[in-house]
Amino acid sequence: MTEQQFHSGFAAIVGRPNVGKSTLLNAILGEKLVITSDKPQTTRNRIQGIHNVPGGQIVFIDTPGVHRAGSRLNRSLVDAAMEAIQGVDVVLFLVEATTKPTAESETMAEILSGVKVPVILVINKVDLVEKGSLFALMESYSRMHDFREIVPVSASSGDGVERLTELVCRLLPVGPAYFPDDILTDLPERFVVAEMIREKVFHLTRDEIPYSVAVQVESFKERPESGVIAIGAAIIVERESQKGIIIGRRGEMLRRIGTAARHEIERFLAGRVYLELFVKVSRDWSDNPQKLKEFGY
């Protein structure tokens, strides 16, 4: 890359559920934008993170995990991931160093066989394995697809992330920046706030609440006289029993969710936040096309 040339373009991060796609994007951006969880299928939307490097701008697209889809919601997530591959300049296929290739990995490799742009194999969590097993894993994946590069990283510690971004930038076409250099994402603030609340539901309720939880920000008002941003959001579940779990005894769980989310939202918005949460039941919404559209999927 010469000093006169500026490279810009789009890079999609794809892979099976729970391999660390969102953690990797947050590590690249140097700031938490995408929610993370040890539960698979945490990411539900194509999320764009904008990363500026000397001589280039990379627009990363974090995608839902590719898996065998069952419900309408899961099928929509897989469709979103597949759509993200179309029209990008580079694809990052993220896998775990701690796991051998799976059926989902082979399916993903088959899909990538039709991709015309460079595909980089990114092996995450390399800090958890011995070098010998890492080389064997590289060989296994190399037989599945002709990758442009193979890059070992640890998304949690940041090791290898800078090298990865430099490589991606070199593979992008020469062209102007798509966004100003002080923008982290093109997502509206309401979306990021809703995702932060949904993450706290995941973390605090653990396995008691399945993936059929959505969050809608119903009000977002700045109060100049007090310097406070007042946010009202609904946590949507499919069953009355789930509503009871999220509210908790005497409202304790809902208060914990609200407090944890508010602290993170305040850091993101760089201001004081008054957060009011409600819990609503929308029966079987994850299999209802109209509700999926209403909730943004």
Secondary structure of residue 105 in the 3-state scheme: helix
In a domain, 153, yes or no: yes
CATH number of 70's domain = 3.40.50.300
Q: Are residues 134 and 217 in the same domain?
A: no
Q: Are residues 154 and 81 in the same domain?
A: yes
CA distance 96 to 129: 10
In a domain, 179, yes or no: no
Residue type, 123: I
Q: What is the pTM of this model?
A: 0.69
Q: Are residues 158 and 65 in the same domain?
A: yes
Q: Are residues 94 and 162 in the same domain?
A: yes
In a domain, 93, yes or no: yes
Q: Are residues 167 and 247 in the same domain?
A: no
Q: What is the pLDDT along the chain (297 residues), one digit of tens a residue?
A: 445 689 999 999 988 777 888 889 989 998 777 655 545 444 445 678 899 988 999 999 887 655 444 555 445 555 555 666 778 999 999 999 998 887 777 777 777 877 889 999 999 999 998 888 899 999 999 998 899 999 999 999 999 999 999 999 999 999 999 998 888 887 788 888 998 998 899 888 876 675 678 899 999 998 888 889 999 999 999 989 999 999 999 999 999 999 999 998 998 888 899 999 999 999 888 787 787 777 766
Q: Are residues 92 and 26 in the same domain?
A: yes
Residue 163 and residue 27 in contact, taking contact as beta carbons nearer than 8 Å: no
Closest residue by Cα to residue 265 from 198, 211, 181: 198
Q: Are residues 30 and 163 in the same domain?
A: yes
Q: Are residues 156 and 196 in the same domain?
A: no
270, exposed or middle or buried, with CB in 10 Å at 0-12, 13-18, 19+? exposed
Q: Are residues 44 and 161 in the same domain?
A: yes
- What is the domain range of residue 256? 189-294
Count of alpha carbons within 13 angstroms of residue 159, beta-carbon side: 10
Of 117, 138, 171, the residue at which a domain comes to its end is 171
Domain total in the chain: 2
Q: Are residues 154 and 14 in the same domain?
A: yes
